[in-house]
C-alpha cells in the first residue's frame, strides 16, 4: 500500500510511532524515523530532534532529504509533563515542523496528525484556539498563563487546537495535491498510558469501566498507514476517531441520545 513511498515519522522510538514505522516499512515504504530518543532498533534512517526547540527543528529540516511522500506527526508529550512543554511539543513544534517541511514534500504527499479523544471538546474552545493560531515557541509561557492552561488541560488544549488546525488546512496545499488529516485515538497501551491514568484520575477510571479494552499501537498504525496511502486521496481535513467507540459514546451523552 506504501510501496516506493518515503515516509517521515516523528515519535518513532516507541508506541504508535514505532508500530507505524514497522507497518509502513512492511508495506514497502522507506522510513525516516525522528525522535528525541534513539529507537532500540531504528527502522530506516534515524534523525534525533527535540520538537520543543525551534533551533532543533530548523537543524532537522535542513538535513532531511526532499521528496518525502508522507509525514506522520506522532510525537507527543503526556499531561504529566509541564504544561508549557506539552503545548510546545504537541502543538507549536508539530505545526512549525510541518510548515517548514511542506516545501520539501513531494506533490501528492499526505500529512497525518495524531490528535486524541481528549480533543473532542474543541467546539467549545474557540477563543484560546484562535489565539494560538500564530503561537511561537517564545510565546508559550505567556499564552498558558493568559488562558489558564496548566496540568492536564495542556494536553486537552493541544489536541483541541490540533484538530481545528487540521480541519483549517483541508485545502491549504490542494494545488500541490498535499492533504492533511488527523486521527484521534482513545486510551492506548503505550509507555505513557500510566501518565494519562495518573493525571486524569476519575475520568480515566470511568473511561476504563465503559470501554471493553484500551487500544494498542496495532489498532492505530493501520489507520495512519491508510491515510498515508493513495487510497485515502479524497479524504482531506478529517479527524478520524480510533477509540473503540468512546467518541460516539461521549457525543450521544452530550446530545441526549
Is 155 in the active site? yes
Whole-number Å distance between alpha carbons of 89 and 77 = 7
Q: Would 212 be classed as within a structural domain? A: yes
Q: Is the pLDDT of residue 195 over 90?
A: no
pLDDT digit string (tens) for 208-240? Answer: 678 888 899 999 999 999 999 999 999 999 999
Helix (H, G, I), strand (E, B) or coil at 29: coil
Whole-number Å distance between alpha carbons of 197 and 181 = 27
pLDDT of residue 120: 96
pLDDT digit string (tens) for 93-135? Answer: 999 999 999 999 999 999 999 999 999 999 999 999 999 999 9
Mean pLDDT, residues 228-253 taken together: 96
Let me know the angle formed at the C-alpha of 82 by 85 and 73, rounded to the nearest 5 degrees. Answer: 35
What total of structural domains would you count in the chain? 1
Whole-number Å distance between alpha carbons of 11 and 21 = 10
pLDDT of residue 146: 98
Let me know the angle formed at the C-alpha of 186 by 46 and 77, rounded to the nearest 5 degrees. Answer: 45
Confidence class for position 205, pLDDT limits 50, 70, 90: low
Q: Would 34 be classed as within a structural domain? A: yes
Q: Is the pLDDT of residue 204 over 70?
A: no
Q: Would 102 be classed as within a structural domain? A: yes
Q: What integer best gives the mean pLDDT of the chain?
A: 94
Mean pLDDT, residues 146-169 taken together: 97
Mean pLDDT, residues 161-180 taken together: 98
Q: Would 1 be classed as within a structural domain? A: no
Q: Which domain holds residue 199?
A: 6-255
Q: Would 104 be classed as within a structural domain? A: yes
Catalytic residue among 96, 150, 155, 257: 155
Torsion of CA 162, 164, 165, 170, to 10 degrees: 130
Integer angstrom CA distances of residue 120 from 42, 80, 124, 150, 172? 33, 20, 9, 18, 23
Q: Is the pLDDT of residue 196 over 70?
A: no
Q: Is the pLDDT of residue 58 over 70?
A: yes
Q: Would 100 be classed as within a structural domain? A: yes
CATH of the domain at 15: 3.40.50.720
Amino acid at each position: 500500500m506504501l510501496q516506493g513511498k518515503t515516509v517521515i515519522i516523528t515519535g518513532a522510538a516507541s508506541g504508535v510511532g514505532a508500530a507505524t514505522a514497522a507497518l509502513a516499512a512492511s508495506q514497502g515504504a522507506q522510513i525516516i524515523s525522528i525522535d528525541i530518543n534513539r529507537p532500540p532498533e531504528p527502522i530506516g534512517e534515524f534523525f534525533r530532534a527535540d520538537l520543543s526547540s525551534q533551533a532543533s527543528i530548523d537543524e532537522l529540516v535542513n538535513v532531511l532529504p526532499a521528496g518525502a511522500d508522507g509525514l506522520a506527526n506522532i510525537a507527543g508529550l503526556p499531561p504529566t509533563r509541564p504544561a508549557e512543554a506539552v503545548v510546545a511539543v504537541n502543538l507549536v513544534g508539530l505545526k512549525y515542523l510541518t510548515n517548514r517541511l511542506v516545501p520539501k514534500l513531494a506533490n501528492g504527499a499526505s500529512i497525518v496528525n495524531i490528535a486524541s479523544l481528549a480533543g473532542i471538546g474543541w467546539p467549545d474552545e474557540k477563543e484560546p484556539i484562535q489565539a494560538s493560531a500564530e503561537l511561537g515557541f517564545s510565546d508559550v509561557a505567556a499564552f498558558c498563563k493568559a488562558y489558564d492552561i496548566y496540568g492536564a488541560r495542556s494536553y486537552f488544549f493541544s489536541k483541541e487546537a490540533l484538530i481545528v488546525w487540521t480541519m483549517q488546512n483541508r485545502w491549504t496545499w490542494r494545488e500541490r495535491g498535499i492533504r492533511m488529516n488527523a486521527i484521534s485515538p482513545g486510551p492506548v497501551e503505550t509507555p505513557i498510558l500510566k501518565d494519562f491514568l495518573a493525571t486524569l484520575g476519575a475520568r480515566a477510571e470511568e473511561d476504563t469501566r465503559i470501554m471493553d479494552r484500551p487500544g494498542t499501537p496495532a489498532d492505530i498504525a493501520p489507520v495512519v498507514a491508510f491515510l498515508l496511502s493513495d487510497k485515502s486521496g479524497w479524504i482531506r481535513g478529517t479527524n478520524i476517531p480510533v477509540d473503540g467507540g468512546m467518541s460516539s459514546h461521549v457525543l450521544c451523552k452530550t446530545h441526549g441520545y
